[in-house]
Homo-oligomer: A and B are copies of this chain.
Amino acid sequence: MTQKKKIGLMGFGKTGKAIASVIIESKEFSLEWVLRQKTTLEHRSVSEFLGFDTEDSGLIYSTSKITADDLLAKHPVDFIIDFSSSSGIYCYGKAAARHQVKIISAVSHYAQAELDLLAELSKTATVFWSPNITIGVNYLLIASKFLKKIAPFVDIEVIEEHFKQKEGISGTAMRIAEELDVKISDINSVRAGGIVGKHEVIFGFPHQTVRLIHESISREAFGNGVIFVASNLADKPHGLYNFEELLLPYFTD
């Protein structure tokens, strides 16, 4: 049996915890450590904290007590997964490149400074960034683009549904609209109750309709995306990658 690939996780908020769970349950990957800003939970076992019976995970560390360099020296990993914030990359980016650790960032927004840093790091390291790291949404995006290519004159509208409190148009819907050249005014945003997240792309032909729909059930969906990305990034040389580049090779006969 092959050895599990090792993962270090940046960030331990709600989504970070969900990602940690998925990695701990994975057969291909192991969770070596979590690195976060806060000192709460320091040195607790991740699997024990999350209620797993297994002890098969590392501990929680705080950036205020240990540097990424030291952590990588003591507990080497193959991938760093980043679900922290846009500033997280400054903590571990250069250390990761030095240790030849692959970087997978799922941070929602980066300013130009961070984008520049990612590009710089990618000269010597394998760097991946996707603001939405679910397989479903990224598949939707690519499959939609191909349908538009097949039928350039089809009418396209987007419906996105989320919980009442979510403000503004969803970032994913904006991204879909941008890629498909759909006007912002053709995005329909529904805000009602506790809807987790639904994106629907409607292709209206004169005599038929095609709909591509993605529904989120829980934030663990990001975990499965991480596993997919890490698996597909394993053999990639240094460079800057996005989700589309990893998915495209599957769209061939």
Interface residues of A (CB under 8 A from B): 134-136, 139-140, 143, 146-147, 149-151, 154-157, 159, 161, 163-164, 188-196, 202-221, 223-224, 228, 244, 247-248, 250-253
Contacts and interface: CB of A to CB of B under 8 A. Distances in A.
Choose among A151, A213, A217 the residue with the greatest number of B CB atoms under 10 Å from its CB.
Answer: A217
A252 B253 CA distance: 11
A190 B202 contact: yes
B205 A164 contact: no
B155 A135 contact: no
Chain A interface, DSSP helix/strand/loop, else mixed: mixed
Given A151-B228, A157-B191, 18 more contacts: A135-B208, A143-B147, A146-B250, A155-B193, A161-B202, A193-B205, A193-B209, A195-B204, A205-B221, A206-B217, A207-B221, A208-B215, A208-B224, A209-B217, A211-B211, A211-B212, A244-B253, A251-B252
B250 A150 contact: yes
Given A151-B135, A250-B149, A251-B146, A220 B207 contact: yes
Choose among A135, A247, A251 the residue with the greatest number of B CB atoms under 10 Å from its CB.
Answer: A251
26 contacts: A134-B208, A136-B210, A140-B210, A143-B147, A149-B250, A154-B192, A155-B192, A163-B204, A164-B204, A190-B202, A192-B203, A193-B203, A193-B204, A193-B207, A194-B204, A194-B205, A194-B208, A194-B217, A206-B221, A207-B218, A207-B220, A208-B215, A210-B212, A210-B215, A244-B253, A251-B251
